[in-house]
Amino acid sequence: MTSFFPDINSNQIIKIIEKLGFELIRQSGTSHAVYRRESDGRRTTIPVHGKKSLKRRTIKSICKDVGINIEQLKELL
pLDDT tens over the chain, length 77 residues: 455 778 899 999 999 999 999 999 999 788 899 999 999 999 999 999 888 999 999 999 999 999 999 989 989 88
Which CATH number characterizes residue 72's domain? 3.30.920.30
Helix H or strand E segment including 57? helix 56-66
2 occurs within a structural domain: no
Residue ranges of E strands in the chain: 23-28, 32-36, 43-47
38 occurs within a structural domain: yes
37 occurs within a structural domain: yes
User: What pLDDT score was predicted for residue 2?
Assistant: 52
Q: Does this model's pTM top 0.95?
A: no
Number of domains making up the chain: 1
User: What pLDDT score was predicted for residue 3?
Assistant: 58
